[in-house]
Amino acid sequence: MTKKFHGELDLLKAQVLDMGSLAICFLEGSVEAMVKQDVESAGKILDARKQIMDSNRRIEQKATELLTLFQPMAGDVRLLVSILKIIEDLVRIGRYGKDIAALVNELSQKPHVKKIVHIPQMQRSVVCMIKDALDAFQSGNLDRIKDIGERDKTVDECRHEIFRECITYMMEDPATITRCMHYVMIARYLERCGDHAVKIAERDIYIYKGEYIELK
């Protein structure tokens, strides 16, 4: 029974990582589509958005089943409960990727403003945070997330910088207002994805140390 349980648990963790990879693909793909003004690629992300919710439902159902059928020990209970929280964060990350993709069509109508300010750089930082949080979830190597709070502060500062820069462009040329407001919104989405990466990291610590520690 114990061997079967831990085999099922390993499969469940792998499903969480697959869901995380999908959420990251949405986020990376949507920003890349925005940068390249690639409406077709953005459309593929919008068409695939149901995959995130399907993964969420499968994992939630399996985690609940394992909790009910096997009556696991405390450490495994922490893992299963944390998985239910982590997939909520991944759903939101995927949703923000979808929301960015939804803006691509309008942003493709005119040239970008000043090379899209710092959005691609911000996206790379956020994706790195998410990947490190998922790696720590898989491996238990909490060194991967030891500075994630400070990295999140840098992402927050980047959002503020994008906002200030966009305000300047809008004041200089009112024709850029719509595009700049979209950039500001995208920066906000990316900032929220960084927040979800921090929440996953906090869950990693709870899984492996049994402690609740706020990282930001």
Number of compact structural domains in the chain: 1
Q: Please determine, for residue 115, whether its predicted confidence score (pLDDT) is greater than 80.
A: no
Residue 110 belongs to domain spanning: 2-209
Please give the C-alpha separations between residue 1 and each of 8, 20, 65, 133, in angstroms, as whole numbers.
11, 29, 14, 30
Residue 216 lies in a domain: no
Half-sphere exposure in the Cβ direction for 55 (13 Å, CA): 26
Name the pLDDT band for 75 (thresholds 50, 70, 90): confident
Around Cβ 123, how many Cβ atoms within 10 Å?
26
Please state the rounded mean pLDDT for residues 45-53: 92
Q: What is the pLDDT of residue 160?
A: 94
Residue 214 lies in a domain: no
Q: Please determine, for residue 98, whether its predicted confidence score (pLDDT) is greater than 90.
A: yes
Assigned token pair, 29: 């793909």
Residue 200 lies in a domain: yes
Please report, as a single letter, which amino acid is at residue 23.
A
Residue 160 lies in a domain: yes
Please state the rounded mean pLDDT for residues 43-67: 93
Name the pLDDT band for 117 (thresholds 50, 70, 90): low
210 vs 75: CA distance, rounded Å:
8
Residue 169 lies in a domain: yes
Q: Please determine, for residue 1, whether its predicted confidence score (pLDDT) is greater than 70.
A: no
104 vs 196: CA distance, rounded Å:
23
CATH number at residue 199: 1.20.58.220
Q: Report pLDDT digits (tens) over 186-214.
A: 999 999 999 999 999 999 999 999 988 88
Average pLDDT, the chain: 93
